[in-house]
A and B are shown apart, each in its own frame.
Chain A
Amino acid sequence: MAQVTKVLTAGIGEANLRDIGVYRERGGYKQWQRAIRELQPADVLDLCDKSGLRGRGGAGFPTGRKWQFLPKDKALRYLVCNCDEAEPGTFKDHMLLEEAPHLVLEGILLGSYAIACHHAYIYIRGEFKRGYEIFCAAIEEARAAGYLGKNVFGSEFDIEVTAHRGAGAYICGEETALLNSLEGKRGEPRLKPPFPAVAGLYGAPTVVNNVETLAYLVPILEKGAQWFAAVGTERSKGYKIISISGHVQKPGNYEVPLGTTVRELIDIAGGLRPGRTLAAVQPGGGSSACIFEEHLDLPYDYENMAKAGSMLGSGAFVVFDDTTDFVKAAHNLVRFFAHESCGQCTPCREGGHWMERVLERLVHNRGVPGDLEMLDRVSATITGINLCPLGDSIEPFLKSVLRRFHDQFAERILREETLPA
């Protein structure tokens, strides 16, 4: 049986890590001090690169390489921590923000130092009002202790951290929409290129990193790149917090080495309810396709999830047992994306609502012949032709369950003889 390994989650639920004193007793801010006193920014970047750490927000892009995209000739650059967690099924950043704010802050400081940024921002989802207040208090505690501000630890390094609260919009988790929202605009994704590394916040080179990604910098500095890279699979290194929910007995955040199998993850979360059998798992948030029984022994990592036709995404792992109505589930997620579309791109804006309405008919057993073919065609049509990935996120779940549970959909279609004239 696979092991839960508490790295970022160590102490959560046991100690009050919101208190800077408690965090320090457990070794907090030591790595920040060591980085400033003993390491060059390039050393921190190198450690991150060698550790194989990949972005934990969804895309899985190697963090070190992302930092290296920043143009070398521009001194002004920004680090933005993405805490706009809203992918259906994800709840790890919510936990880190509220339960381990100083760890998140130390990660932000280390990331800022690595890329020589002097003003970092954290964009916090509007709904996380409590988390925002907790994080603002953590910033003030750290400031009072001299961990941020001018001349940190008597060095030449200045760093300011500003917490910014959103106001309700899933799309702001997309990095360029996030930057627009941080600039006080509508959270609409930008045209790329230019990518944020070239022209991001206020037009300056910017790196946007997820909360969990930045938090992992702290143990990587403490224990070394090798410690992290030794765990996981060939191209998916280290640990990851998996948010397991749905039809399991003990839903929660579980930190495991990448490559733990799908079956082991279900077991870790207490398994299915008695007498129930597995129908499907959505392994990477609302945007991901389902995987099924035949995938149970796959290692849960970026490559194997992609090979199975899905993705690891943000690590939101939703389990469905045999009681699940997949027509309702598909309607639920399509409605979500339709609701959250920013409206810039016609295929996403119109297609989402179109599909939502067709699915709503099906939910109420009022489907008309041709509806399932229409869902197929519309979802394929709107995929790949939008500015950002939101429009492309509508298809995967729907398509996977429409294929697998075709009967559940087909039986909601009115037969010819019962159709209204």
Chain B
Amino acid sequence: MTGSGTSEREQNFPALLERLRPECEQLVARYERKRSALLPICHLFQLHEGFVSKEAMRAAASMLDLTPAEVEGTVSFYTLFFRRPVGKYVLQVCRGLACSINGAEDLMAYFREKLGVGHLQTTADGTFSYEEVECLAACDRATCMQVNLEFVYDLTPQKIDEMLAAMRAGTYATSPMAQTEAPAATWSVPQDDQVATGRKSSGALGQPSPNNAGGVGDESGIIMLDRILAGDVGFYERTSERAVRDSRAVTEVVEAEKNGGNGASH
């Protein structure tokens, strides 16, 4: 929850949930296991709220007999789920190789200049969110992009100008995203920022590591990689070793539960 008061969106959430519940139940019924409906339910909430809010994740968890942590852990894996509010038009420009060798870099620079924001950022007026995304599978019509997931092909600066003007004027053909809360400067959460800048598993140089994984840019990671390269550290038959270990772990937990649920006593 944000601050002391509750936002208008939060106040409206219970009513939205009741309105969407039948549709959620239909989605659940499409699958043989409940949890499979998690992605479709999140798509549905994002359609109505413009992003997948904490309330939506909690509601999904309760409908699917999951914990909110399981839901957030899943949602955070997927780049198309926004966990923070975004602009009315999410502009996702393809930076894939086929687009790149056909001039995508110039067009991305053009976008950044026209919008005044960069990768993963939202304009101050809340109209545009801008992202440079991986190959969109439309390489024959490079350079391409998506606006709120609708494809736009064969981009040119002129096409971009017309598009942005139409969006500002509210006359653009693709409907805007639902906007139930004002977006901040970026919709990515701290861990995602690191993904975006290539510091996925640990902190940037000189910054505390959020999960002490010892990854790129982290001193312990550099030491580890040097050791791997020098051949000091070998990789064993990871697959079978882990399979044995994992299956034993499962048995241990099951056994422990049978013996009175005290799993920590080993």
Binding site for B on A (CB under 8 A): 85-91, 93-94, 119, 125-130, 162, 164-170, 181-188, 191-192, 202, 243-247, 251-253, 282, 286, 316, 318, 320, 324, 328-329, 332-333, 335-336, 338-343, 347, 349-351, 353-354, 356-357, 360, 377-378, 381, 385, 387
Contacts and interface: CB of A to CB of B under 8 A. Distances in A.
Contact of B98 (A167, A185, A246): A246
Interface pairs A-B: 9 shortest CB-CB: A168-B80, A184-B38, A167-B78, A245-B139, A168-B79, A184-B35, A251-B140, A129-B149, A88-B135
Interface string B52-78: 000000000000100000000110011
B39 A169 contact: no
Given A89-B135, A343-B200, 16 more contacts: A87-B135, A88-B135, A91-B140, A127-B80, A169-B79, A183-B36, A184-B38, A184-B64, A244-B140, A246-B98, A251-B139, A340-B134, A342-B77, A350-B225, A357-B216, A378-B229
B199 interface: yes
A323 B198 CA distance: 28
B136 interface: yes
B81 interface: yes
B74 A253 contact: no
A116 B246 CA distance: 33
A387 B239 CA distance: 8
B88 interface: no
A88 B39 contact: no
Contact of A182 (B36, B80, B221): B36
- Taking residues whose C-beta sits less than 8 angstroms from the other chain, chain B's interface range is 35 or more
B200 A168 contact: no
Contacts of B74: 184-186
Contacts of A377: 229
Given A88-B98, A329-B100, A353-B198, A167 B35 contact: no
Contacts of B101: 246-247, 320, 324, 329
24 contacts: A86-B137, A91-B137, A93-B137, A119-B32, A130-B150, A130-B151, A165-B39, A184-B39, A185-B74, A187-B78, A188-B77, A243-B139, A246-B101, A246-B139, A286-B97, A318-B139, A336-B96, A340-B134, A349-B201, A350-B201, A350-B221, A353-B215, A354-B225, A360-B198
A349 B200 contact: yes
Interface string B40-60: 101100000000000000000
Nearest to A126: B80
Interface string B242-256: 110010000000000
Interface string B142-158: 10001001110000000
Contact of A381 (B31, B33, B34, B228): B228
Contacts of B120: none
B19 interface: no
A164 B229 contact: no
Contacts, number: 178
A202 B136 CA distance: 29
B138 interface: yes
Contacts of B78: 126, 166-169, 187
A328 B134 contact: no
B109 interface: no
Nearest to A339: B134
B165 interface: no
Contacts of B246: 191
A349 B137 CA distance: 24
A88 B77 contact: no
B200 A191 contact: no
B195 interface: yes
Contacts of B146: 127
Nearest to A321: B101
A286 B39 CA distance: 27
Given A119-B32, A166-B39, A247-B101, A91 B138 contact: yes
A347 B31 CA distance: 35
B258 interface: no
Nearest to B202: A350
A165 B43 contact: yes
Contacts of B149: 127, 129-130
B266 interface: no
B33 A202 contact: yes
A164 B64 CA distance: 17
Which residue, A169, A245, A328, A351, has most C-beta atoms of chain B within 10 A? A245
A353 B200 contact: yes
Contacts of A130: 149-151
A245 B215 contact: no
B154 to A, nearest CB: 11
